[in-house]
Structure 1
Amino acid sequence: MPNMDLYNMPMAPASRAIQMIAKALGLELNSKFINTMEGDQLKPEFVKINPQHTIPTLVDNGFAIWESRAIAVYLVEKYGKTDSPLYPKDPQKRALINQRLYFDMGTLYDALAKYFFPIFRTGQLGDQEALDKVNSAFGFLNTFLEGQDFVAGSELTVADIVILATVSTVTMFSFDLQKFPNVDRWYKNAPKVTPGWEENLQTLEQAKKAKSVYFSVYPTASHGISTMVTLDLYNMPGSPNTRAVQMTAKAVGVELNSIFVNTLEGDELKPEFVKINPQHTIPTLVDNGFAVWETRAIVTYLVEKYGKPDSPLFPNDPQKRATINQRLYFDMGTLYESLAKYFFPYFRTGQVGDQESLDKVNAALGDLNTFLEGQDFVAGSQLTVADIVILSTISTSEIVPLDLAKFPNVVRWYKNAPKVTPGWEENLASLKQAKKFLEEKLAEKK
């Protein structure tokens, strides 16, 4: 039996998710306590393991990976049974699981953290707007569970375990799950089907007794053959997420039928679109009736479904995949988020964000610079979907200037993009169109 080190805060949802995954796989984890309240995550010995200094971080015989959802998938791919139902090989099943994992990170967990976690700093829950976002997120989850027992298909998957770890956190507070009957039914079924559930609840009980210790934990924590097929991509042209999907499609040789969804006019809320994607987000891909959303879930789906066998864009090797997944989650939760908060006000007001927002951008770029130390790509020795997605994010600086000179590895990598990235010229052309569109809109406001 392998013996792996898990650097973690045991009461955190992310740590509990990994513990349950390990239980499901029959793995033993050597838990190493990282006290983020005392700054353990900033000590040189830990930063050497994880330059982003986030927890949980798994070290498996010298291989280090962080971001709980990337860890969860890695453990199943590395140590699970062949074609484990926890994360099966079928590209469509995987795409749904990936979408739910990104939903957990970007929507559900984010909403819970912003509403519930302030109580540990201020003694007060978040405001009504934050509560509305919690209810909205649970509403989406309730929709996902309509007519089924699990969040991503007909069997328990890593998506259930990760989201159960998140949802079980609300048992520390007064929150009525019965308002969401499908979620309530799914949650009540958890003890019957989820390995490690009792341990999860025991840890939560400990957390209730020591709330002040917890929740400072999460720093802002068979292949198809390429063929020309046509898939519908509901999108806003020019957005980073759309451009990432378009470049990935170019790389695997599929043609996208672009369907414009004008979010400025509320197209994403129209019943015909909500029927396709109840979370009403873009881009959304529809492949012969199969709908998947969340950019990073879409790009991995495209490679698994239409890429060459063991494509270097998203190879079969569990360690390589885990690193790619970590970088994708880093893009969503750290890099893209910081750039959005700094850049995107410009598109409404003509002004970028404040110094605090810029500091977060620079911190994220510092992490990216570290990832690129001594290598040409963000997740290994070859171009992967992680490069494509993050290049799409960074290239937004072609619209609003950003000084990358302080990050030499990022500059080197970005300058190499035209030589190695399929669809790069189209990416730049789309950026030019977006810049012109935004300049016209801002001029109209003056």
Structure 2
Amino acid sequence: MDLYNMSGSPSTRAVMMTAKAVGVEFNSIQVNTFVGEQLEPWFVKINPQHTIPTLVDNGFAIWETRAIVVYLVEKYGKDDSLYPKDPQKQALINQRLFFDMGTLYEGIAKYFFPLLRTGKPGTQENLEKLNAAFDLLNTFLDGQDYVAGNQLSVADIVILATVSTTEMVDFDLKKFPNVDRWYKNAQKVTPGWDENLKSVYFFHYRSSNVSVAMPNMDLYNFPMSPASRAIQMVAKALGLELNSKVINTMEGDQLKPEFVKINPQHTIPTLVDNGFAIWESRAIAVYLVEKYGKPDSPLYPKDPQKRALINQRLYFDMGTLYDALSKYFFPIFRTGKFGDQEALDKANAAFGFLNTFLEGQEFVAGNQLTVADIVLLATVSTVEMFAFDLSKFPNVERWLKNAPKVTPGWEQNVESLQQGKKFLEGIQAKEKEAKA
């Protein structure tokens, strides 16, 4: 069950809390609407309306938060308490859900969400409509502990996700005493509340701080290189924009004094984040997730065992897979020929190891996409520049074919590969001319 979502958004938080209440888990796939990922062809194919969150449950795709939460309760709920079968109780819950979508959520979106784009809230008219929406909710809650009946329902969960968005801003709920009372009580009885609050605060941090830091984040790179492509995909997964500064290693840019001053090891990619310089792509990937990812990001979780497995795969990439591929394939850029038979044997052995890691798994280090997948995908996808048959490694081939569906920034990775392929074809054409 995949949930395409954007962490911190009220809609996503509503679905997450409902999932917690019914005891289901998702494979969380981030879709960053700030950078337009919802418009990418692979996502539009899943959801032509290109909205988040979107749930895909064994091939069944459904979107619109309120439709998703009802579906989850009806299919996976242990009972019908969150969405009773009684028509009158259902009707009241449905009314509150439509009220949230058309009145309350719309009011919050039009007044508060401009802050994320412009740094300023909406107009006075927007504020008045928002206050009117809270007045209505206050009326619904007069003498009641829940928004639709005498027990917690999906209506409470959805509206709670919406109202908790006000934690990001200076908005006094005490003006609406019934809402304030309900909100304080809801926190005690709603599964997943702590995770909801963390996501609110993280979303606020991302929207108010990361955008400021991004213009000062420079990535010195060579776009065709696997290491550079890996960092571009990690950045995409985190919604970061890096100021790309191309270092053409074929012309020796990495040896120029101004670059050696930044990185005395003169390797690419090198990241400079507000004066802090770090190199080695795998170290950069982990750093970006640790600093700019959501708390306990699935890309690099806090759990020591999960991290250990991810780290093992990252070291495997550097010391075995990337090393083998670079020694067999990369000589063609300098000499016009691949490496020797020994180099090919080592490349095949490395792919054999990776094939074993992927036996019965969709991802290389656990049950979800991590930085290990992104880094290894950047390495493995390099073979698409050459005539190399991956069918000998069926698990690797399957994993690579799945990459466009789950890996943010995959299209940019492919574009860089195509540039590399054209560059190689140019070298080969010049060699033919020289021989002629």
Normalized against structure 2, the TM-score is what?
A: 0.50
How far, CA to CA, are the matches of 1:269 and 1:346 in structure 2?
22
CA contact (8 A) 2:270 2:279 kept: yes
| Counterpart mapping for 1:34-53 below 5 A | none
How far, CA to CA, are the matches of 2:422 and 2:348 in structure 1?
26
The answer to whether residue 255 in structure 2 is matched with residue 269 in structure 1 is yes
CA contact (8 A) 1:349 1:442 kept: no
- Of the three residues 416, 420, 431, the one matched with 1:434 is 420
CA offset at residue 347 of structure 1?
1.3
Question: Which residue in 2 is equivalent to 1:297?
Answer: 283
- Of the three residues 379, 384, 399, the one matched with 1:398 is 384
CA offset at residue 248 of structure 1?
0.3
- The structure having more radius of gyration, on CA atoms, is 2
CA contact (8 A) 2:336 2:427 kept: no
Question: Which residue in 1 is equivalent to 2:340?
Answer: 354
Question: Which residue in 2 is equivalent to 1:410?
Answer: 396
Question: Which residue in 1 is equivalent to 2:329?
Answer: 343
Instruction: After superposition, give the CA deviation of every residue in 1:317-364 in whole Å (9 maximum; x if it has no partner).
Output: 010000000000000000000001110111122221222111111111
The aligned length equals 225
Instruction: After superposition, give the CA deviation of every residue in 1:173-207 in whole Å (9 maximum; x if it has no partner).
Output: xxxxxxxxxxxxxxxxxxxxxxxxxxxxxxxxxxx
Q: Which amino acid aligns with 1:329?
A: Y
Q: Which runs of 5+ in 2 are unaligned?
A: 1-201
Higher relative contact order (CA 8 A, sep 6+): 1
The answer to whether residue 244 in structure 2 is matched with residue 244 in structure 1 is no
Identity across matched positions, percent: 72
| Counterpart mapping for 1:152-191 below 5 A | none
The answer to whether residue 257 in structure 2 is matched with residue 281 in structure 1 is no
The answer to whether residue 299 in structure 2 is matched with residue 313 in structure 1 is yes
CA contact (8 A) 1:248 1:422 kept: yes
How far, CA to CA, are the matches of 1:279 and 1:354 in structure 2?
28
CA contact (8 A) 1:327 1:378 kept: yes
CA contact (8 A) 1:235 1:258 kept: yes
Secondary structure of the structure 1 residue equivalent to 2:244? strand
- Of the three residues 346, 353, 358, the one matched with 1:372 is 358
The answer to whether residue 239 in structure 2 is matched with residue 253 in structure 1 is yes
Secondary structure of the structure 1 residue equivalent to 2:404? helix
Instruction: After superposition, give the CA deviation of every residue in 1:10-63 in whole Å (9 maximum; x if it has no partner).
Output: xxxxxxxxxxxxxxxxxxxxxxxxxxxxxxxxxxxxxxxxxxxxxxxxxxxxxx
CA contact (8 A) 2:325 2:347 kept: yes
How far, CA to CA, are the matches of 2:394 and 2:248 in structure 1?
37
| Counterpart mapping for 1:115-130 below 5 A | none
Q: Which amino acid aligns with 2:306?
A: K
Q: Which amino acid aligns with 1:351?
A: K
Question: Which residue in 2 is equivalent to 1:323?
Answer: 309
How far, CA to CA, are the matches of 2:394 and 2:427 in structure 1?
34
Q: Which amino acid aligns with 1:304?
A: E
CA contact (8 A) 2:355 2:395 kept: yes
CA offset at residue 379 of structure 1?
0.3
Instruction: After superposition, give the CA deviation of every residue in 1:406-437 in whole Å (9 maximum; x if it has no partner).
Output: 11111111110000000001100111011112
CA offset at residue 443 of structure 1?
2.4
- Say what the alpha-carbon RMSD is for the aligned residues: 1.6
Instruction: After superposition, give the CA deviation of every residue in 1:382-424 in whole Å (9 maximum; x if it has no partner).
Output: 0000000000000001111221111111111111000000000
Q: Which amino acid aligns with 1:360?
A: K
Normalized against structure 1, the TM-score is what?
A: 0.49
CA contact (8 A) 2:306 2:366 kept: yes
How far, CA to CA, are the matches of 1:264 and 1:407 in structure 2?
32
Give the structure with the higher percent helix: 2
Question: Which residue in 2 is equivalent to 1:334?
Answer: 320
CA contact (8 A) 1:348 1:442 kept: no
Instruction: After superposition, give the CA deviation of every residue in 1:80-100 in whole Å (9 maximum; x if it has no partner).
Output: xxxxxxxxxxxxxxxxxxxxx
How far, CA to CA, are the matches of 2:248 and 2:341 in structure 1?
31
